[in-house]
Amino acid sequence: MKKIFSRMGDGSALWLSEDELRQDLRTGTEDAADRGKIGPLSDDELERLFEICAAPQKVVSVEPGQEVVHSFDAGTLKFPLRGGVPVDRLGTVMAHERAFCSDTFEVGHSDYSFKPVKAIIAEERQSMEQIQLNATIPVYYGAMPNLGLYTKPDGPIDNWSELLPMGKVQEAREAQEEACEMAIQDIFFVAEAMHEAGSDGINFDTVGASGDADFLASLLAVEKLKKAIPEIHIEMGMAGEFVLGMHGGLKYNDTRLAGLYCHKQLELAEKAGVDIFGPVINTKSNKSVPWNIARSCTFVKACSEISKIPIHPNAGMGVGGVPVTSTAPVDAISRASVALIEIGKADGL
Partner 1 sequence: MGGVRTAGDLVARVMASKALRVNEAKKYVADKLGISVFDLCDSQVMREVREDLNIGHVLARPGGAIGIEAKFRIAKLLDIEINSVKRFKERSECSL
Q: Is 285 in the site for partner 1 (CB under 8 A)?
A: no
Q: Is 67 in the site for partner 1 (CB under 8 A)?
A: yes
Which of the residues 14 through 33 are near partner 1 (CB under 8 A)?
none
Residues 6+ apart with CB under 8 A from 111: 117
Q: Which of 76, 92, 127, 199 contacts partner 1 by CB under 8 A?
A: 199
Q: How far apart are CA 279 and CA 269, in angstroms?
A: 11
Stretch that binds partner 1, among 2-10, 96-104, 183-191, 242-250 (CB under 8 A): 96-104
Q: Which of 116, 155, 248, 310 contacts partner 1 by CB under 8 A?
A: 310
Neighbours of 251 (CB within 10 A): 12
Q: Which of 48, 226, 275, 329 contacts partner 1 by CB under 8 A?
A: 275
Cβ atoms of residues 210 and 161 within 8 Å: no
Q: Is 205 in the site for partner 1 (CB under 8 A)?
A: no
Query: Where do the DSSP E strands lie in 171-241?
Result: 202-207, 234-238
Name the pairing type of β-strands 251-252 and 255-256.
antiparallel
The least CB distance from residue 289 to partner 1, in Å, is: 25
Q: How far apart are CA 172 and CA 114, in angstroms?
A: 22
Q: Is 233 in the site for partner 1 (CB under 8 A)?
A: yes
Stretch that binds partner 1, among 22-30, 164-172, 244-252, 341-349 (CB under 8 A): 341-349
CB nearer partner 1, residue 168 or residue 226:
226
Q: Is 98 in the site for partner 1 (CB under 8 A)?
A: yes
CB nearer partner 1, residue 174 or residue 223:
223
SS3 of 232-296: CCEEEEECCCECCCCCCCCEECCEECCCCEHHHHHHHHHHHCCCEEECCCECCCCCEHHHHHHHH
Neighbours of 69 (CB within 10 A): 14
Q: Which of 11, 201, 208, 211 contacts partner 1 by CB under 8 A?
A: 201
Which amino acid is it at 15? Answer: W
Q: How far apart are CA 243 and CA 259, in angstroms?
A: 5
Q: Is 116 in the site for partner 1 (CB under 8 A)?
A: no
Which of the residues 134 through 193 are near partner 1 (CB under 8 A)?
134-138
- Interface contacts to partner 1, rule CB under 8 A: 64-65, 67-71, 96-98, 100-104, 132-138, 195-196, 198-201, 231, 233, 235, 275-276, 307-310, 346-348
